Structure 1
Amino acid sequence: MNEILKLDNVEKYYGNKANLTKAVDKISFSVEKGEFVGIMGASGSGKTTLLNCISTIDRVTAGHIYVGDKDITTIRGNELNKFRREELGFIFQDFNLLDTLTGYENIALALSIQNVKPKEIDSRIQEVAKRLGIEEVLNKYSYQMSGGQKQRVAAARALITNPKLILADEPTGALDSKSSRYLLESMKEMNEGLAATILMVTHDAFTASYASRVIFIKDGKIFNEIRRGEDTRKQFFNRIIEVVTVLGGSLNDAL
């Protein structure tokens, strides 16, 4: 395995000296190629800020973040835009599909921007659509899809450019339980069947139980980390709940 993501003493502060908030406080960890890592924490723990720094939406106050061999805290302008476009995939809570495009066109857009030939675009979309079970909605517009279908189209869009890293921000947050399960099974297929490296932020223990490793954040710092290993998903879920309980969150917050 090789390292896809590395965080080295990352800090993110807001405010000024008189009123300073440490959203992320000297966090270090790495993610290997092919891992599916979850990040959990209560509201205000710093997990979303951390994801924003990794995605380059926000800039770190101190420390370094490496994707592959590239220090992304140092790049700017067109180089940064190129990095986001080619090396990151995003799955958002609210889908972020373009309403005027079909599912097929939403997925194809990223490849079109990269000047990929139409024949290759089509073959790649058909392959990922089959993997994620969205063949029947490729010609539909987003208003004709269920929430789960929209999110699986969004997952296909994130995967289609073969990015080094897929970042998922509360991907099941807007879905019902059935749609959540379908999406998580799709993400599992992306990880295990297509070797996608996924970093997912969630407050939900059921969602986190699909990951191979979960990092817990409290007050901007790493509180704990557990690996699934040979556990069943249910066993891993129970271990996650145990950590959430110690972490200080209520069981209702975790489910």
Structure 2
Amino acid sequence: MKNILNVKSIEKYYGNKGNMTKAIDNISFSVEEGEFVGIMGPSGSGKTTLLNCISTIDTVSTGNIIINDKDITKLKSKALDNFRQNELGFIFQDFNLLDTLTAYENIALALTIKGEKIPQIDSKIKEVAKYLEIEQVLQKYPYQMSGGQKQRVASARAIVTEPSLVLADEPTGALDSKSSRLLLERFEMLNQDLKTTILMVTHDAFTASYAHRILFIKDGKIFTELVRGKDSRKEFFNRIMEVVTLLGGDDNDVF
């Protein structure tokens, strides 16, 4: 199986010599094509910084990040913009939908930027909307949608360009439990049926239990790793909670 993501000995520093903070401390790991990987860790552990570096929002101080055989740490601004548009999909906690555009237009924007023709755009939007069960909201504006519908529209926007890697930052953080479950079930379907590769940061053990593998980050380092294997989701959840407890509390006050 091909590695979509290779993170090699990355470090990230903030500040200057007199007051320097090491947010990421020599982290290395890889993600295979078609994997669904979660990242968990206490507040301040470096998990968000790690995702920001992989998503090209931030840059590493040392080390290399290779996505689909391209070292993004060596790309210049224009090449990096093109890479971001073609290879990465983003799902954020606060949806990041444009309020003045309908759901259809929000999803179409990603394809328009890539230069897709109108017939192809329409076909791709209808296909992904059917898959995520958002056909009924395509002509609605964000203020007319529920939180769960907004997040599924945001997910459609992220995957409609067929990126190599989808990056999800606390995707259920603004959703109620029912909407969270529906979204995570769609994530499972995207991963299993379309082989979408997903890297997801979450503080929530229930959300993390939908992934195949969890990387736990502590003090800027990988603390441990859990692989779901043949476990049921409930069994995997219990194993995740054991690690959370080992780190010093339950997932509400530690993560």
Q: TM-score, normalised by structure 2?
A: 0.98
Q: CA RMSD in A?
A: 1.0
Amino acid at match of 1:31: V
CA contact (8 A) 2:43 2:254 kept: no
Alpha-carbon distance between aligned partners in 2 of 1:93 and 1:249, rounded to the nearest angstrom = 24
Within 5 Å, which residues of 2 pair with 1:86-101?
86-101=86-101
Identity percentage of aligned residues: 70
| CA distance in 2: counterparts of 1:107 and 1:58, whole angstroms | 25
Residue type at the aligned position of 1:144? Q
1:79 aligned residue: 79
Task: Tell me the equivalent position of 1:114.
Answer: 114
| Match of residue 216 from structure 1 | 216
* Matched ranges for 1:197-216 at <5 A: 197-216=197-216
Q: What is the CA-CA distance between 1:254 and the residue it aligns to?
A: 6.4
Q: Distance in 2 between matches of 1:58 and 1:43?
A: 18
Report the Cα distance in structure 2 between the residues aligned to 1:92 and 1:48, rounded to whole angstroms: 12
The 1:169/1:140 distance shift into structure 2, 3 A limit, reads: same
Question: Following the alignment from structure 1 to structure 2, what is the Cα–Cα distance between the partners of residues 58 and 231?
Answer: 35
* Shift >4 Å, 4+ stretches: none
Deviations 1:134-172 (A, max 9, x none): 111111100000000000000000000000000000000
Contact 1:7 1:27 (C-alpha < 8 Å) held by counterparts = yes
What amino acid is the match of 1:121? I
Q: Secondary structure at the match of 2:252?
A: helix
Matched, 1:63 2:63: yes
1:86-138 CA distances to partner (integer Å, 9 max, x unpaired)? 10000000000011111111001111111111111111111111111111111
Distance (whole Å) between structure 2 residues aligned to residue 142 and residue 251 of structure 1? 31
Asked if 2 retains the 8 angstrom alpha-carbon contact of 1:241 and 1:251, the reply is yes
The amino acid of 2:74's aligned partner reads T
Residues 178-193 of structure 1 mapped to structure 2, 5 A cutoff: 178-193=178-193
Structure 1: 5+ residue stretches without partners: none
Q: Tell me the amino acid that sits aligned with residue 57 of structure 2.
A: I
Give the drift of 1:68.
1.1
Q: Is the contact between residue 203 and residue 253 of structure 1 (CA under 8 Å) also seen in structure 2?
A: no
**1:226 partner amino acid:** L
Equivalent positions of 1:89-168 (< 5 A) are 89-168=89-168
Per-residue CA deviations over 1:174-221 (Å, capped at 9, x if unaligned) read: 111111111111111111111110000001000000000000000000
